[in-house]
Amino acid sequence: MSIIISVLAFLLAISILVAVHEWGHFIVARSFGIKTLRFSIGFGKIIWHKITARGLEIAVSILPLGGYVKFLDEREGKVLPAERPHAFNRQTVGVRFCVVLAGPLFNFLLAFILFWLVFVIGVQEVKPLIGEVVPQSMAAKAGFLPGQNIVAVDTDKTSSWQDIRLAVYQRIGSEKPLTIWVQKAGEQSPHALYVDVSGIRLDEDNVDVLEDFGLFPFVLKIPAVVENVEAKSPAAAVGLQKGDRIESVGQEKINNWQDLLKAITNRGGQTVNLGFVRRGKNESLQITLGRHVDHQGEERGFLGVRAKAIQWPKSLFIQKRYGPMAAIPAAWTEFWQVCTLSTQLLYKMLTAQMGFSGLSGPIGIAHSAGSIARAGIAPYLEFLGLISIGLGIVNLLPIPVLDGGFLLYFLIEAIRKRPLSERSQLIGIKIGFSILVLVLLFASYNDIMRLLQ
């Protein structure tokens, strides 16, 4: 069932994003009087189509990973003399530039609208209450303590962990120390802590920069009671059962689920004595922990049990919800922060400051779409906004086949006062297509490896 939800959520997401992107090209072209022959969602063989009264063919093609708008163009077929003024190739460089640029711009516009909707609907985020500070970490050396609330990063007010992450991500690598304002319950006013962020790494293995820094949000202490046992796991092999309360691993006493995770993390492959309580009776057994490679490529101990989901108190969350007008600046701030961060990450990839193993392809996006769709409408809309921004930015790259490649051709034409030869453009398109195929294959490989791990 989860696979079906993931596929449907992915198809809905990609269809919306592609339709809006191509609609941008279409609506701007129509405003300039350019005739459109086909509006397609997807590539390849057409599986459904309809021709409107104005002669526009609306089509759905078999490969859903994109789309296109086909304009009347003398380079692609014979055009009647009466229709030549409406051909794409007859337009000025400026008009053609606007038509091509409209696709990515509509993706950015969609993202802003989606963020606005999220804030109008309301989104729940975790309050920035510090739960754990890793000993000897950068956070510990800077003076952070459990129980503190982070109220601002430099001059940016923060009301959730998401706010803090966005603020810190944008400042990573800065030579100027970061000023983080913290306040503990009972204190009259916040005080400043100064953090050197120049040494914080930003790469594909750094899933959460705050964890790398040594800060963890406050979490409830979950009892170390087994809710279910995974099939063919080490726990299943020795007969652990639902309801067993784990009390020790080797010589370590277990008070909660967090203690259990810490106890088994570095014991992959080891045989340990596991103490637990079953139906009020103390039991123990020998168990050989499995080995599990996480998404960072690190080996961790694996037991194969899950805890019972518990209800978190509402006091640990903040509900971000605004009226239609107040949501506009909130959406703009979110939009600008995500655009800035996405551009920075892409720049670091292209300049080899970070690797490409963090790339996700269709498989990874589908997996994320399914899990986020199950979380509710607001998270799914926010996810669409993030992907829409990524689609817009990537399409602006100066790679032939992408919109940015054609924009580059138009700029060269404007400078040279004549277009590049068709042969030169065709060579560029072939190179660009090869690059995209390689990137897609690499991203898909990353997705598959993450799922296998």
* Neighbouring-strand partners of residue 181: 152, 192
Contact 11, 362 (CB under 8 A): no
**Which residue carries 């022959």 as its tokens?**
37
Reading the block at residue 290, the tokens are 């499995």
CA distances from 407 to 13, 32, 98, 99, 419 (A): 26, 18, 9, 10, 12
Q: What is the dihedral of CA 10, 16, 19, 22, to 10 degrees?
A: -90
- Coil, strand or helix at 10: helix
Alpha-carbon gap, residue 367 to 13, rounded angstroms: 12
Instruction: Using alpha carbons, select from 226, 227, 210 the residue that is nearest to residue 218.
Output: 210
Residue 139 CA to residue 376 CA, distance in Å, equals 34
Beta-carbon contacts of residue 77 (< 8 Å; ≥ 6 apart)? none
Gap between the terminal Cα atoms of the chain: 21
Q: What are phi and psi of 98, to 5 degrees?
A: -65, -40
Query: Running DSSP on this structure, what letter comes out for residue 146?
Result: T
Q: Are 213 and 204 in contact (CB under 8 A)?
A: no
In the residue annotation, 22 being an active-site residue is answered as yes
For residue 206, what are the CA distances in angstroms to 101, 200, 225, 357? 33, 10, 31, 11
What is the rounded CA–CA span in Å between residue 158 and residue 341?
17
For strands 245-249 and 317-320, give the pairing: unpaired
Q: Which residues are catalytic?
A: 22
